[in-house]
């Protein structure tokens, strides 16, 4: 009788790859506990449980992380206006620490020394996953089969996996695989690899699962009012229908529904992975895109401009950290704390319309606004002396005139 090498908590998806990994880990002499995180992807969790059990998982844990995903990961990203490289809303990046946190908790609880996952060796997810594990469970050992030569040399393509599956009684998918890979959660679906690897090729029209094609979306907008407190949504109301939602998960799901219906949040980008490669990704982030626009609006309305400037820099830093897998790091803790502090007065209501892939801000109001209608008015003077502006401008020009004195202006146009 062979001794077990120990217990592995495997992040199990129910798909072909992680099913093969489950069996392979057993072959290697580990006890395997399968862990499935429900973060809003479309999945038959019970079928996956049964499958894992059949494949020899000692235990199977299925955790509904949807609410904590919204509150602990999506909300801070909304506060930060988190966007990586000016375009990507980080839907996958924030899901990884959420999943890994839960996996590590199970590992600690079950006394498992090992965790494993099916992420590839070229991607960002392996890093996001493992840095979370090392940060929260420093003694953990990580088994990443796609980086183990024995494994990746054995499974050089899908055919090898299929063969192995058939040999080991792993149910083989009957529908053909899409010629790309995808990753779905409550925040977004991402598509990459396969035919998408050619950055010049247009994405097929039928790729998108979460949003309607704007060409086919309704011809009349939905108008929403989103109420914020401390920089996060407290309530969303469909202004015409009167319907409203006010728990975090309900709010976000409803924004997904409306955004999806109107084709909001599709992007096709090339991005820079942490490991230094450029990759092409296609994303759809309906609810997140609406929230980004709404939050930008209420934030500028209520936040001092110089605080905003500093906070904008912190938000960019936050986005880079999260993209690179450092959600659980001292610097990301620090940045999150600072950003959260900046949101104290980010409170009020934004009205917006959602239509044909776009979000249009219509108006905003707030008890905490720094907008002063009288002060800014062109029709009344308010508590403002226009003469002050002359001095302001002349003092700002002191330096520019000195520079000119030195440089001369041989030719103004250059």
Hey, which residues between 291 and 330 contact a second copy (CB under 8 A)? 296-297, 300-301, 304-314, 316-317, 320, 325-326, 328-330
d(CA 356, CA 341): 35
d(CA 306, CA 7): 52
CB-based contacts of 251-254 (< 8 A; 24+ apart in sequence): 252/70, 252/74, 252/186, 252/287, 252/291, 253/186, 253/287, 254/287
Q: Which two tokens stand for residue 254?
A: 């409803």
Q: Which of 170, 149, 172 is nearest to 23 (CA)?
A: 170
**Residue 13 binds a second copy (CB under 8 A):** no
In angstroms and rounded to an integer, the radius of gyration of the C-alpha atoms of the chain is 25
Q: Which is nearer to a second copy, 44 or 241 (CB)?
A: 241
Q: Is 125 designated active site? A: yes
Least gap, CB of 379 to a second copy (angstroms): 7
**Residue 3 binds a second copy (CB under 8 A):** no
d(CA 167, CA 246): 50
Catalytic residue among 19, 77, 101, 125: 125
d(CA 400, CA 384): 26
Sign of CA dihedral 21, 23, 26, 30: positive
Interacting span for a second copy (CB under 8 A) from 18-26, 39-47, 159-167, 376-384: 376-384
**Residue 61 binds a second copy (CB under 8 A):** no
Catalytic residue among 96, 101, 266, 336: 96
Q: Is 304 designated active site? A: no
Residues 229-288 within binding reach of a second copy (CB under 8 A): 266-273, 275-280
Residues 120-159 within binding reach of a second copy (CB under 8 A): 120-122, 126-127, 130-131, 134-136, 138, 144, 146-147, 149, 152, 157
**Residue 401 binds a second copy (CB under 8 A):** yes
Q: Is 17 designated active site? A: yes
Least gap, CB of 322 to a second copy (angstroms): 13
**Residue 364 binds a second copy (CB under 8 A):** yes
Residues 333-362 within binding reach of a second copy (CB under 8 A): 334-335, 337-338, 341-342, 345, 351, 355-358, 360-362
d(CA 116, CA 103): 10
Task: Supply the residues annotated as catalytic.
Answer: 17, 96, 125, 181
């Amino acid at each position: 009788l062979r001794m077990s090498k120990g217990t592995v908590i495997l992040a199990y998806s129910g798909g072909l790859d992680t099913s093969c990994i489950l069996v392979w880990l057993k072959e290697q002499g580990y006890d395997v506990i399968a862990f499935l995180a429900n973060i809003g992807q479309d999945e038959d969790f019970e079928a996956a449980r049964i499958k894992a059990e059949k494949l020899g998982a000692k235990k199977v844990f299925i955790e509904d992380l949807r609410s904590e995903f919204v509150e602990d990961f999506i909300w801070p990203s909304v506060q930060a206006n988190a966007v990586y490289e000016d375009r990507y809303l980080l839907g996958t990046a924030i899901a990884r620490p959420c999943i890994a946190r839960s996996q590590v908790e199970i590992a600690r609880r079950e006394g498992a020394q090992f965790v494993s996952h099916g992420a590839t060796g070229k991607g960002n997810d392996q890093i996001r996953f493992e840095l979370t594990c090392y940060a929260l469970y420093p003694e953990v050992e990580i088994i990443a089969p796609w980086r183990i030569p024995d494994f990746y040399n054995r499974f050089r393509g899908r055919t090898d996996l299929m063969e192995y599956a058939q040999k080991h009684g792993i149910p083989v998918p009957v529908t053909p695989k899409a010629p790309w890979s995808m990753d779905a959660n409550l925040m977004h679906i991402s598509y990459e690899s396969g035919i998408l690897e050619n950055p010049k090729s247009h994405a097929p029209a039928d790729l998108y699962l979460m949003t309607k094609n704007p060409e086919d979306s309704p011809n009349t907008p939905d108008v929403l009012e989103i109420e914020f407190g401390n920089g996060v949504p407290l309530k969303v109301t469909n202004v015409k229908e009167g319907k409203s939602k006010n728990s975090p998960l309900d709010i976000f799901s409803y924004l997904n529904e409306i955004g999806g219906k109107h084709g909001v949040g599709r992007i096709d980008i090339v991005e820079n992975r942490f490991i230094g490669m450029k990759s092409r990704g296609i994303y759809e982030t309906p609810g997140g895109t609406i929230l980004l626009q709404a939050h930008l609006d209420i934030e500028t309305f209520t936040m001092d401009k110089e605080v905003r400037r500093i906070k904008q820099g912190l938000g960019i830093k936050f986005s880079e950290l999260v993209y690179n897998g450092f959600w659980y790091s001292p610097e990301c803790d620090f940045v999150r704390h600072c950003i959260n502090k900046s949101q104290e007065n980010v409170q009020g209501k934004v009205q917006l319309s959602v239509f044909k892939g776009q979000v249009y801000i219509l108006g905003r109001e707030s008890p905490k606004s720094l907008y002063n209608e009288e002060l800014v008015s062109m029709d009344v003077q308010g508590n403002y002396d226009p003469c002050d502006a002359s001095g302001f401008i002349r003092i700002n020009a002191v330096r520019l005139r000195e520079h000119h004195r030195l440089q001369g202006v041989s030719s103004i146009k250059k």
